[in-house]
Amino acid sequence: VPCVTRCLPISLQSCQCLAWKPRPVGVWPRPGESQHVVAGYSDGTVRVFSVSRTEMELKMHPHAAALTAVTYSTDGEMILSGGKDGIVAVSSPRTGMTIHVLADHKGSPITVLQCTRKQYHELGVEGGELWLAASSDRRVSVWGSDWLRDKCELLDWLSFPAPAGPEGLDSLSPSLAAFCPWEHGVLVYVGFGLQKEALFYSLRKKQVLRKMSLPAFATSLSLSPAAPFMALGFGDRLLRLQPCPAGAPQDYAGHDDTVHLCRFAPSGRRLLTASHSAVLVWELPGA
């Protein structure tokens, strides 16, 4: 039975998003070394917490609007944060300074921030890391970065068409994107559009490679790091495990509301999903 082993300090502001700090590849934790999480708050602050010491170690204020997405760079040396106003900030947890402010998505809430190690030298940008930002207006930007040299260069800009929505953006399915772990140089996009589908886009060819039909517009997305399949959540309590690039999907109805979060564990053998009043952990022994 899960139990609470740590309780981080309470804030009067609401926590909107959080992310674990990654460990560098091949580096094992030292005895007594603390794990860290970064959290984004409704007052525009980014806060770094030590899990073992249950205390806040750093507070930065790079945003004027509430935070909607936050993540670490792959080496844990930078924090990327996105706000409800569409502004993306890149900050250093070592110095507490914000080194980049990007307004390319200004006016539309950031829905996803994700970093990955650069997989192709011929992509034409410097540095060893790629990262993407998706916003509620169905736009995705892809960047190449060299954090040590303070470089951040736009690699690609995607805009996905959709019919006019009857209501505001908040009522539509979120725009979600993720780098594909098993197909380098490809990202997957789902969101409100002309069709209910997942799109596989090649950063090298600058085009959609293929489309996968879905039963509805997805509300959550996660790609397995261990096997070629993805998890998708939907508004009718449905969770789908979809083999890629083709195969029969497996559908599950264990939730009581919209499945608004899917997240694979780094091993790919567990999947965490969440709805309004339930958090489920799925065992995937064949992954």
pLDDT score for 5: 46
* Structure confidence by residue, pLDDT tens digits, 116-148: 987 555 676 677 889 999 999 999 999 999 888
As a three-state string, the secondary structure of the chain is: CCCCCCCCCCCCCCEEEEEECCCCCCCCCCCCCCCEEEEEECCCCEEEEECCCCEEEEEECCCCCCEEEEEECCCCCCEEEEECCCCEEEECCCCCCEEEEECCCCCCCEEEEEEEECCCHHHCCCCCEEEEEEECCCEEEEEEEEHHHCEEEEEEEEECCCCCCCCCHHHCCCCEEEECCCCCCEEEEECCCCCCEEEEEECCCCEEEEEEECCCCEEEEEECCCCCEEEEEECCCCEEEEECCCCCCEEECCCCCCCCEEEECCCCCEEEEECCCCEEEEECCCC
Q: What is the CATH number of the domain that holds 177?
A: 2.130.10.10
| Residue 102 maps to a domain | no
| Residue 263 maps to a domain | yes
| Residue 164 maps to a domain | yes
Cα distance between residue 101 and residue 217, in whole Å? 31
Domain carrying residue 213: 160-286
170 has pLDDT over 80:
no
Cα distance between residue 96 and residue 144, in whole Å? 22
Q: Which of 115, 106, 97 is nearest to 21 (CA)?
A: 115
| Residue 39 maps to a domain | no
| Residue 14 maps to a domain | no
* Structure confidence by residue, pLDDT tens digits, 179-210: 999 998 899 999 999 999 999 999 999 999 99
**Rounded mean pLDDT of the chain?**
87
Mean per-residue pLDDT for 68-87?
96
| Residue 65 maps to a domain | no
Mean per-residue pLDDT for 89-98?
95
Domain count, the chain: 1
Lowest-confidence region among 30-34, 53-57, 257-261? 30-34
| Residue 221 maps to a domain | yes
| Residue 253 maps to a domain | yes
CA 264 to mean position of chain CA atoms: 12
Q: Which residue has the tokens 């309470």?
A: 10
217 has pLDDT over 90:
yes
